[in-house]
Amino acid sequence: MRVHGYEVTVGLDFRCRLPTRTKLFSPGPTSFGAASNAEVDGYTLATPGSLPALNRRAVELAIRLVLVLGAEIEPISRWVRKHYFDRTLPKGYQITQLASPLARAGVIEAAGRRLGLTAIRLAEDVGELRHGSLDLNRAGAPLLEIIGEPLLLRHGPEEASAFLRALHELVEASRIFSSDLPTGALRCDVHISLGSPERPTHRACSIRDLASCAAMEAAIAAEIRRQMARLGPSTAIEPDADCCYLPEPDVPPLRIDPAWIERVRAEI
């Protein structure tokens, strides 16, 4: 796909919320559709003395989807604190994985194309803003982050949205969700950049938390138009400030032995 001589490249980062009864690092309840701020506990609010304890069921659900994606599970993965300023982060950081993820490789197939995966990570979710009001129910819920390789669009935005639709089907096939996913259970960050052989690729602009194929297609199309209006001989898309990552001192490395993997495989 070329737009006035530019090639369009997209990066797709998927986030699948894992439907456990409690949060990733605390016994606080987590569900879909609860009243705002009804599922907030001391750990979510970063009260003094509250410490994280890993939810084993979340790990098992993550392994299940990783196996369906054909990825390679790492025997040891490690946690980091991702620090950045956000009203939805009462602790001031999000526990996730970075250089040492849960799994690597894997693939999503859609519309005759294959999207290679670079990393699959476990992380805790953040809260959300609804019409200007802060809702922390989602904060701390378990997420599986699925990071795709850069994808060069050949025809249009629908090529990218096809992978979101395919992942939805894989989530259902793995029996993580047995029916239609609740709103926000599966969403995608899209990173869009334009470039050409004659001109270097400009820094990608990120659009976050797209939860439907229609929203993804509209967002990609709008961002292509926006970047085209700004691009010139020496124009560059300004990068966002990087987050600060520090080792997580309170959660030991996650160790997954082959026997655990086989027990989960038998449940699929």
Question: What pLDDT was estimated at residue 5?
Answer: 74
Question: What pLDDT is recorded for position 230?
Answer: 78
Is the pTM above the cut of 0.85? yes
> 68: which residues sit within 8 A by CB, 6+ positions away?
170, 173, 174, 268
Give the CA distances from residue 255 to residues 77, 110, 196, 261, in Å, rounded to whole numbers and listed in that order: 7, 32, 44, 11
Residues forming a β-bridge with 152: 9
pLDDT on residue 238: 53
The 3-state secondary structure of the chain reads CEECCEEEEEEEEEEEECCCCECCCCCCECCCCCCCCCCCCCCCCCCCCCCCCCCHHHHHHHHHHHHHCCCEECCEECCEEEECCCCCCCCCEEEECCCCCCEECCEEEECCEEEEEEEEEEEECCCEEECCEEECCCCCCEEEEEEECCEECCCCCHHHHHHHHHHHHHHHHCCCCCCCCCCCCEEEEEEEEEECCCCCCCCCEEEEEECCHHHHHHHHHHHHHHHHHHCCCCCCCCCCCCCEEEECCCCCCEECCHHHHHHHHHHC
Going residue by residue through the chain (268 aa), what tens digit of pLDDT does each one get?
Answer: 666 678 899 999 999 999 999 999 999 999 988 999 999 999 989 999 999 999 999 999 999 999 999 999 999 999 999 999 888 989 999 999 999 999 999 999 998 999 999 999 999 999 998 888 999 999 999 999 999 999 999 989 999 999 999 999 999 988 898 767 888 899 999 999 988 766 655 667 999 999 999 999 999 999 999 988 877 554 444 545 578 999 999 999 999 999 999 999 998 8
Bridge partners of 189, per DSSP, are 13
The pairing of strands 205-210 and 76-77 is unpaired
Q: Looking at residue 216, what is its pLDDT?
A: 97
pLDDT, position 106: 96
What's the confidence (pLDDT) of residue 239?
A: 47
- Give residue 234's pLDDT: 45
